[in-house]
Structure 1
Amino acid sequence: MKHLFKLAPVAFAMLACMPAKAWNTETHRRIVLDAVEFMKAHPNQTRYASLVAGVTRAGYTMEQFAAAIGQGAHDVDYFEDTYLCGATTGNCQGAPLWGLGSGLARYTSFWHFQNHTAGADVHGNDFGGYHYAKLGNPGDIDRLAATWLVGDYLDDGAGGLGGWFGDTSKYNSFGVTEARYRQGGYSTASMYQDYEKMPFQPIDNLAQHFWSRFLQAPSAQSLGFVLHATDLLQPHHTFNVLGHNHSGWESWIEDYYDTEKLNDGALVLAALNDFTPLAATATDIRPLLTQGGTYSYKYGGAVMSSTDHALRRGVAKKMVPHAIAMVVRVLDRAAVRLGQ
């Protein structure tokens, strides 16, 4: 199992030139690190001993393992795997010029939603991903994106969809990224022909793709990528909106994570009861992840209409402990795989 920390070949580069928004990237890392610390402090409620055994057998320390999966959860925001192309020019870009500070730094962020406002999608998912056409109450960033990207299409490779004056495919996001996140569902390139109608795949499919990789060949990197699914405990990501205080709320979480004790172990312990443990043989983790999305949709919506500190604190003390608890449930199952 020496390959556990070997960086798996990834067909897309990762950039750090602009801040991406979901949970803020540092918050993603902290949630994962706190989940490992919680397991260490609660060995009777978790499979921490099995996790330690698997990691130790691979020749690494738990500190190295925690750092590696935390970094993986952080890195998903920096994938350069999604290009949208101009309806007129055919020129394909991975991020909008106005992305810096907007809450949407690069287009890969569109795969980080699970839309509980609309339910099933055209791909066959119980809950779809970001879909501008199904926004009941678009925010400022949603409207800005739609204005900027109207008629633009998802890069589907040379010879596919094109602009009026050509096709400058850079990646084939439909044939690679969308295909990875399709997870057995149905898609056609024409579904992604106009930005304002694009039914993006949900984040639980992203996580399932990397979970399957982990089961096939365990690596800390692929497991870390799975754990980016804590975005499901960020209410904007289940209400299907880019705007409505999206960026401000996430910055607030990062700023007050420690002072407000959002990782309180007692709250995490209670939150575990809201997640059904994965079976030791489970290969599909999406039902567990959907439990997280359902929770944030039910209890987190207030932060989209208010910036009041006390209100944010109340919601945060529900969302962050549940995000940590969800990671614990995934790591419990991962511990079984590492022991095989």
Structure 2
Amino acid sequence: MKKLLLVSLVMASAGNAYGFSQETHKRIVIDAVNYMAQNPQTTEYRKLLSFAQSKGMSITQLGELMGQAAYDVDDFEDTFLCGAITGDCVQAPVWGVAESIVKYTSYWHFQNHTQGADQHGNDFGGYNYDKLTVWGAIDNMAATWLKGDYLDDGPGGETGWFSADDSEYNSYGITEKNYRIDGHSHYNMYDDFEEMPFQPIDNLGQYWYQSYLKTGNPQILGFVFHTTDLLQPHHTWTTSDLNHSDWESWVKDYYDQESLNDMALVKQAMQSFTALNATDTDIRPLLTEGGAFSYAQGGIVLNSKDHHDRLNTAKMVIPHSIAMVVHLLNHAMVAR
């Protein structure tokens, strides 16, 4: 009965996604490519065009492909949480499936600027319910629903009662390991959801960027650009609630109507980032600059639905999201 009540409450209060909407992620990448095409003298557009041609596609097709990849990160099937009693491992709660809410993989998409270093050794940690400084009903209900549930660590690892084990994917041995960049973990960190210190999204970006440098695969490069979640204030203040999904829906709905991708604002935003050197191998300092900006400038959207407040914030964070992708593309074109 308790979980049935939680289902109805969450379905009534939750929206369709965590992080910028998938369509917004895609638009940001396409607009970054468009900005480079409009500013070939100050960007690595010519190298980007050559990169597209080397893959047998037009620059428009490359933008679409990378944008779709940024969109697709929310659909990764790489994170399963398992019932503390049943040992049954699933990639989304039953109410999440019903509402098309992003899967448990979305918990890797935060960088908590309200806290300092985490227990992995990251300068800023990711989502950790036990460490939240702002939260709401959805955070609380998820932690109640998932109390004692553990991260899937493959067959023969952690189990439910009476050795119940329905492992679906070794999320600890694969996903967490991939995002454990220059840090340390032990499995006891992940045996109770309400205390799980998920790795921050800049580590996700670093993992996929290094994979791109090894392969030259533009789809993998597109995965990196999901890190524009760092410009979504809820992801740096760190909460699944407080108008989270409503704000993201507003951004998607007004993206064109309010010209949130104003290229003049993108040009200004380019100056807010410290450009990476061609020899740099770690893109996380640039990503963290984006997170610091949204944390400093966007907190009002956690508590206000006023159109003017949202517009002021969106006119800052969307151009900065596009600019961050431009900086990453510039580096990607000279680093290989």
* Structure 2 counterpart of 1:121: 118
* Structure 1 counterpart of 2:205: 207
Aligned-pair CA distance for 1:291: 0.2
Contact 1:278–1:329 under 8 Å retained in 2: yes
Aligned-pair CA distance for 1:101: 7.6
TM (norm. structure 2) is: 0.93
* Structure 1 counterpart of 2:51: 54
Q: Compared with structure 1, are the counterparts of its residues 205 and 293 closer, same or farther at alpha carbon in structure 2 (3 Å cutoff)? A: same
Structure 2 letter corresponding to 1:121: D
Contact 1:213–1:222 under 8 Å retained in 2: yes
Structure 2 distance, partners of 1:254, 1:31, is 11
TM (norm. structure 1) is: 0.92
2:158 paired with 1:149: no
Structure 1 distance, partners of 2:28, 2:160, is 42
* Structure 1 counterpart of 2:334: 336
* Structure 2 counterpart of 1:164: 161
* Structure 1 counterpart of 2:78: 81
Structure 2 letter corresponding to 1:96: P
* 4+ aligned runs moved over 3 Å, structure 1: 100-104
Partner SS state of residue 95, structure 2: coil
What's the CA shift string for 1:126-173, capped at 9, x where partnerless? Answer: 011000001123211101101100111000111211111312111010
What's the CA shift string for 1:95-114, capped at 9, x where partnerless? Answer: 01111586943100000000
Structure 2 distance, partners of 1:104, 1:276, is 34
Aligned-pair identity in percent equals 56
Contact 1:104–1:242 under 8 Å retained in 2: no
Q: 1:93-108 maps to which residues of 2 (within 5 A)?
A: 93-100=90-97, 104-108=101-105
Structure 1 distance, partners of 2:259, 2:52, is 29
* Structure 2 counterpart of 1:239: 237
Aligned-pair CA distance for 1:59: 2.9
Structure 1 distance, partners of 2:233, 2:98, is 19
* Structure 2 counterpart of 1:21: 18
What's the CA shift string for 1:286-327, capped at 9, x where partnerless? Answer: 000000000000000000001001100000000000000000
Contact 2:139–2:241 under 8 Å retained in 1: yes
Q: Compared with structure 1, are the counterparts of its residues 203 and 179 closer, same or farther at alpha carbon in structure 2 (3 Å cutoff)? A: same
Structure 1 letter corresponding to 2:60: E
Give the total of aligned pairs. Answer: 321
Contact 2:273–2:286 under 8 Å retained in 1: yes
Structure 2 residues not aligned, in runs of 5+: 1-14
Contact 2:75–2:102 under 8 Å retained in 1: no
Structure 2 distance, partners of 1:145, 1:324, is 32
Which structure has more helix as a fraction of its residues?
Answer: 2
Structure 1 distance, partners of 2:79, 2:53, is 37
Contact 2:135–2:239 under 8 Å retained in 1: yes
Structure 2 letter corresponding to 1:79: F
Partner SS state of residue 277, structure 2: coil
Structure 2 distance, partners of 1:310, 1:232, is 22
Contact 2:16–2:245 under 8 Å retained in 1: no
2:27 paired with 1:36: no
Contact 1:151–1:194 under 8 Å retained in 2: yes
Structure 1 distance, partners of 2:100, 2:269, is 28
